Structure 1
């Protein structure tokens, strides 16, 4: 059987979702894509990591759009087509009975084949030993009710630790990517014989677990963290640890998985400088470091731009920091590479609703992300008359994509509104909504548009990574000053800010967006000459060279893993 190398100490990276490749729907959005990028960097750099996630046989969902309304369809896949079954099973107590867990191994290869692949363990409860309701526990990513979610998190956290032990993996540290896997810390306590410890014995066991655990939080609002009534948690955890231990570590009123992780992880970090600041206010008394996210350079750079970098900046893929030399690229060469990426985007969307309106010579704005209230997808369209007036002077078009969570009705209404606005703007501002936002769609859009738009309500954007992907392709951002953009915005060089830092007013943000677009961005683009080429090259040199997952992983290694 294929198993991770058992005698090499590894970091065990736990994440509810990981984006592995197109056609494997084990992710829902940015959290999973970040995890996938991190595994690719680990493979490229030879960092000894083993990842643990769920098989998600029915995926997150396949998005269909009917008359502007989102409809969710299961996205089934068979792990046997892309991964190898491991000859190993473990059992966990879920409620009043055991649930058996099998596993598959997927291997993330290095782009250079210099190092061994990074193994990803996909946990799977679809086994004949299990009850029907348990066989589907690893089917639907973020599906079902809170009880289903809690049972999934028992499988991921508790089952994941037991699976690695059964496979003989020597784990040096556990890295929890968000709180979904926080229950693994309770399994580590139990394994130390501290399931019902108290006083000094509990403190010693907690200290030992903390030395082995790293926690990355991604959510800057209390309501975004998984929480369960203690009665429900105790029912399904069924004695994993004594209720007294659970209440001591999980929060005063409810089991808060983020607070559990904070209590039992010795290193905690947010995913941007501002997010760490917000997290320290949200969870006072805890030390929260900052490691700003990054994206995998090879994965997100278009083929035309890769070829350009290969000519001008050899070794850029292994050392993305070398992209700082992008300013040496000739203006005509970078413009030609982007034109090719733009043409590939337009070819990709041919046949989609409204795509016939798109013009390769027209300035193109990209807006693609999870459709939810705090992302404010309607900010660009808050004044349609203003948009029409701007477009009469400087023609532009908009490419939009994004899914709303199946239970997020406001998010679904945003999608319907975007379709309605597109119809109202027809003939003046072409707006195309690309259905089923996924890896392949994202790769095309971030490379082929001319400007990346981001409009979150601050301070709710923990980091954001879509603008980083655009930057790899020389596409500047127009974004609210939140998340990573507070660190990446160099006005007029890497893009432009919407509003001021600390300004949360939506009306002022909309006015700033329109003013920057009309008086600065569009005139610069249409004037031609070296100005826009400089912005593209500067975006790569200043942002692409820094906001990459190689830099991010190196910081985890030096600051969180080996300390």
Structure 2
């Protein structure tokens, strides 16, 4: 099975997490979902990739919520043998001055258009390893800094060695999806080092230009504090340097090993994931040229079945060339759009009833909000002024569906979930609110397709890109969002959705702007503007946003700007 993927040059795409399917919990959130969409788009476009990630046998976690909204994390164990095939090759890396053996599983991602892409899932749960080292690839983002560094050694250094051991000897480019895999550059430096006897005094033993020529780096984090760092005391204990420490400090930082700095210094092509994010990153790292390739979502994956059928009938070929959706303005009938959305909304309402017991009204608008629950996402912004929210809901009835996990160590995020549940209880007689537990791929598909309005309220400029609003757009759902990330590019006021505030409002100003926009523009259009007015907005979301903010456009840009140089 592996042999079919070894006959042509490939791009090696490294990501700590990757969303392959709902039953495989090797993802935590947007980074992993993007990675999955990247590989799916590569399959559709027959762009030869090989993805490298971790097996994460215990997954991220399965979220349970009690009646008070307290999050309880349960194991998300899965059986790799049910979905992937173990490969024969084993390689070793040195961790804590002892060999750690790594195996790999092959998952073949099969696209809906017949494309196939190999995904290697690295696994240290082998008999050759100690119990401690067998657990390195068990928990996605689990444990302490030491555990995380071990995982990043396995991913970066182990991933490069595994590719070679399996016969992937013609790697065109190494693409690092965030800095977790930056140690792969150290392995390449070790591989492309000069023999010491041929060096002159003071000359570097490493072919740095050759390594840079082979590496690309996509950064997703718009704040310096969000990048992985490891103290050199820890690095000396855990990582038996594949290169000398002086060179490592020159590349990764003098004070600690900064994985983003390392990736920046070892990559010829670096990009942010939206135009604004690239600008922010450029200010953070002024010595580097940061390109901008705005993220996109996979068309087939994130389009509800009812809309797929509609597009197939009136815009054939949209799945391979989603830019054809630009013709939605004139090619899709009103009743077709409305009926497709009604089907998607009905599916969401049934799911909400089943999972939460909350009964929603199909005739009233549904606001959807689903993110990782953490402070900068501001899921509580909508509830800043409860009395005003009640007044708006009394005049223009609406409903809210929420979802999202908080990281197990993010106590503030967990408190936000409890707070949202308190608000739901307080407003129960005025405003139906449902919180869906266990936010996963299936829930995301239902929610982004079935909502009427997609809400996003991050603290700017902390939303690097965001993709859930793009998913909603494929289903004709307009966004109501803070001007940050992709929405700065996607917002055409009153055509694709609406902006909340301007580019510099405070939290208080954003809350007032949100209430004003809901009360004076969004909800009146839904209730009093007639079906034609709302359907025109849905057309705008499809024709202006879905036609552009898709993974096919994203991957074509990566191919022409980063991979083929």
TM-score (norm 1): 0.98
- Give the deviation of 1:234 after TM superposition: 2.0
1:354 and 1:430 in contact (8 A); partners too: no
- Give the deviation of 1:236 after TM superposition: 1.1
Partner of residue 141, structure 1: 140
Gap regions ≥5 residues in structure 2: none
2:352 and 2:434 in contact (8 A); partners too: no
Give the Cα separation in 2 of the matches to 1:546 and 1:204. 41
1:194 and 1:201 in contact (8 A); partners too: no
Give the Cα separation in 2 of the matches to 1:199 and 1:138. 42
- Give the deviation of 1:155 after TM superposition: 0.2
Partner of residue 273, structure 1: 275
- Stretch moving more, 346-355 or 37-46: 346-355
1:198 and 1:245 in contact (8 A); partners too: no
Describe the superposition over 1:503-550 as per-residue Cα deviations: whole angstroms up to 9, x where unpaired: 140111011111110111111111223110000011100000000000
Give the secondary-structure state (helix, strand or coil) at the position aligned to 2:21.
coil
Give the Cα separation in 2 of the matches to 1:365 and 1:414. 18
**Closer/same/farther in 2, CA of residues 311 and 195 from structure 1, 3 Å limit:** farther
Partner of residue 334, structure 2: 331
Partner of residue 19, structure 2: 19
Q: How do 1:151-230 residues align onto structure 2 when only pairs under 5 Å count?
A: 151-169=150-168, 170-193=170-193, 201-202=203-204, 205-230=207-232
Describe the superposition over 1:14-40 as per-residue Cα deviations: whole angstroms up to 9, x where unpaired: 000000001000000000000000100
Give the secondary-structure state (helix, strand or coil) at the position aligned to 2:413.
helix
Partner of residue 505, structure 1: 506
Give the Cα separation in 2 of the matches to 1:344 and 1:303. 11
Partner of residue 345, structure 1: 348
Q: How do 1:293-304 residues align onto structure 2 when only pairs under 5 Å count?
A: 293-304=295-306
Give the Cα separation in 2 of the matches to 1:198 and 1:181. 32
Describe the superposition over 1:127-165 as per-residue Cα deviations: whole angstroms up to 9, x where unpaired: 001000011111100000000000000000000000000
- Give the deviation of 1:193 after TM superposition: 2.3
Partner of residue 550, structure 1: 552
**Closer/same/farther in 2, CA of residues 398 and 211 from structure 1, 3 Å limit:** same
Give the secondary-structure state (helix, strand or coil) at the position aligned to 2:379.
coil
Q: How do 1:92-491 residues align onto structure 2 when only pairs under 5 Å count?
A: 92-113=93-114, 115=115, 117-169=116-168, 170-193=170-193, 201-202=203-204, 205-327=207-329, 328-356=331-359, 358-491=360-493
- Give the deviation of 1:239 after TM superposition: 2.6
Describe the superposition over 1:266-296 as per-residue Cα deviations: whole angstroms up to 9, x where unpaired: 0000000000000011112111000000000
- Give the deviation of 1:6 after TM superposition: 2.0
- Give the deviation of 1:299 after TM superposition: 0.2
Give the Cα separation in 1 of the matches to 2:72 and 2:200. 50
1:93 and 1:237 in contact (8 A); partners too: yes
1:58 and 1:139 in contact (8 A); partners too: yes
Give the secondary-structure state (helix, strand or coil) at the position aligned to 1:391.
helix
- Stretch moving more, 324-333 or 416-425: 324-333
**Closer/same/farther in 2, CA of residues 187 and 160 from structure 1, 3 Å limit:** same
- Give the deviation of 1:306 after TM superposition: 0.7
1:521 aligns with 2:522: yes
1:320 and 1:548 in contact (8 A); partners too: yes
TM-score (norm 2): 0.97
Gap regions ≥5 residues in structure 1: none
Give the Cα separation in 2 of the matches to 1:184 and 1:202. 19
- Stretch moving more, 185-194 or 542-551: 185-194
C-alpha RMSD over aligned residues = 1.4
Give the secondary-structure state (helix, strand or coil) at the position aligned to 1:460.
coil
- Give the deviation of 1:112 after TM superposition: 1.4
Describe the superposition over 1:34-79 as per-residue Cα deviations: whole angstroms up to 9, x where unpaired: 0000100000000010000000000000000022111101100011
- Give the deviation of 1:7 after TM superposition: 3.0
Give the secondary-structure state (helix, strand or coil) at the position aligned to 1:349.
helix
Give the secondary-structure state (helix, strand or coil) at the position aligned to 1:92.
strand
- Give the deviation of 1:199 after TM superposition: 8.0
Give the secondary-structure state (helix, strand or coil) at the position aligned to 2:6.
coil
Give the Cα separation in 2 of the matches to 1:346 and 1:125. 42
Partner of residue 59, structure 2: 59
- Give the deviation of 1:303 after TM superposition: 0.5
Give the Cα separation in 1 of the matches to 2:254 and 2:322. 45
Partner of residue 84, structure 1: 85
- Give the deviation of 1:551 after TM superposition: 0.2
- Give the deviation of 1:5 after TM superposition: 2.3
